[in-house]
Amino acid sequence: MNSAGFRELVSGRRHGWLPSLLRGVLAVAAWLYALVVAARNACYDWPVAKVERVAVPVVSVGNLTLGGTGKTPLVAWLVRWYQSRGVAAAIVSRGYKAAAGMPNDEAVELGSMLPDTPHVQNPRRVVAAGQAIREHGAQLIVLDDAFQHRRLQRDLDIVLLDALEPFGYERVFPRGMLREPISGLQRADVVVLSRSEAIDDSQREAIRERVRRLAPRAIWLEIAQRPSGLLSAEDVRGDARQLAGRRVAAFCGIGNPAGFRHTLHRLGCQLIGFREFPDHHRYTWADIASLCRWVEELDDPAAVLCTHKDLVKINIDQLESVPLWALTIDLEITVGREAFEQQLGRLIAG
């Protein structure tokens, strides 16, 4: 079952006796999963499990839910913010689904965005942070996708909620999309509503009020993701505005394809075809051949669009005779920037 099919099932949008039965089975599995998560969190809350601190400040960026919430643009923004103030920042991550000895797709994408920034991947993130400090002279660690990783002490815990799916259908995986119960938000220092432009004011306020009850001391941040340009595999840049009103096809292999669809809608193009691949998908030549056949069957698209995360893995500049572009994204903080920057600055003061 692909990502879209799973969401249709756990959201309750898929009806009938078989989906209902499957949701019942998933609910039992979710109860067991939640029990394990609760036991693990209790070990850190009491504390029974050891929390280790490294010699430099650590800023963690993570999710409450499965799937994409826009972490990568925020990680890049944070690194640039600190680097612009003379701080040698490094990225540390688990390296989820990385091939042996190779960076995973997020690391490749971040490497393209931040070519001079060290990025150390290791499931033992305490070890990775120490390596970043010793070997790369890191003065600050940005810890990617680590809200549930509690062994490494962090000085600032940032959690992103996707405005399109903020609370994971209210249920823990696999019955829903939550990595842990919503009450886990009480550990957050900053809660970020990503893709905030995708919903109206009343919806944003309802989410904010719920977060305020769960994490009353957390800074509230709203960010918008705006399509800013086009990028080819040959590092050619283009103006995304040139596709407004034009016929395009698109595909992606990310955690939340609906977010990419929303971005395409904001671009104002006419979407005539859309394909989804699993998150972290490793594109093969068979996949590329399939995409070429798919593009040939469409009615004269002006371009094929994908995410930057997809492009760095495919690394070709056209499908058949149709140009292939990654849609690049600018992150704009629309609410809470001053308080957020004050908090970031405290970590490097003195």
Give per-residue pLDDT as tens, 20-44. 999 999 999 999 999 999 999 999 9
301 exposed, middle or buried (CB, 10 Å; 0-12, 13-18, 19+)? buried
Highest-confidence segment of 35-39, 100-104, 260-264: 35-39
CA distance 147 to 95: 15
Give the side-chain half-sphere CA count within 13 A for 89.
25
Give me the percent of the chain exceeding a pLDDT of 90.
71
CA distance 310 to 253: 6
Residues in the chain: 350
**pLDDT tops 80 at residue 186:** yes
Kindly state the average pLDDT of the residues 293-317. Answer: 93
Query: Which pLDDT score, from 0 to 100, does residue 6 have?
Result: 85
**pLDDT tops 90 at residue 248:** yes
CA distance 168 to 152: 26
**pLDDT tops 80 at residue 88:** yes
Query: Which pLDDT score, from 0 to 100, does residue 113 have?
Result: 87
CB atoms within 10 A of CB 90: 25
Confidence bin at 298 (pLDDT 50/70/90):
very high
CA distance 118 to 139: 12
**pLDDT tops 90 at residue 12:** no
**pLDDT tops 80 at residue 64:** yes
Kindly state the average pLDDT of the residues 278-302. Answer: 92
Query: Which pLDDT score, from 0 to 100, does residue 210 have?
Result: 97
**pLDDT tops 90 at residue 124:** yes
Closest CA to 188 of 166, 169, 212: 212
Amino acid at 213: R
Q: If DSSP codes are grouped into helix, strand and coil, which group holds residue 26?
A: helix
Angle CA(149)–CA(150)–CA(152) in degrees, nearest 5?
A: 100
**228-328 shares the fold of 58-225+332-346:** yes
Kindly state the average pLDDT of the residues 113-139. Answer: 95
Angle CA(157)–CA(160)–CA(13) in degrees, nearest 5?
A: 145
Report the topology of domain 228-328.
Rossmann fold (3.40.50)
Give me the percent of the chain exceeding a pLDDT of 70.
97
The fourth-level CATH superfamily of domain 58-225+332-346 is P-loop containing nucleotide triphosphate hydrolases (3.40.50.300)
- 307 touches 326 (CB < 8 A): yes
For strands 156-162 and 219-231, give the pairing.
unpaired
Task: Give phi and psi for 144, each to the nearest 5.
Answer: -90, 130
As given in the structure block, the two tokens for residue 126 are 């305490």
**pLDDT tops 70 at residue 97:** no
Give the CA radius of gyration of the chain.
21
Confidence bin at 344 (pLDDT 50/70/90):
very high
**pLDDT tops 80 at residue 2:** no
CA distance 64 to 62: 7
The mean predicted confidence, pLDDT, of the chain is 92
Query: Which pLDDT score, from 0 to 100, does residue 27 have?
Result: 95
Kindly state the average pLDDT of the residues 294-322. Answer: 92
The residue ranking higher by pLDDT, 280 or 87, is 87
> Taking the domains of the chain in order of start, what are their residue ranges?
3-45, 58-225+332-346, 228-328
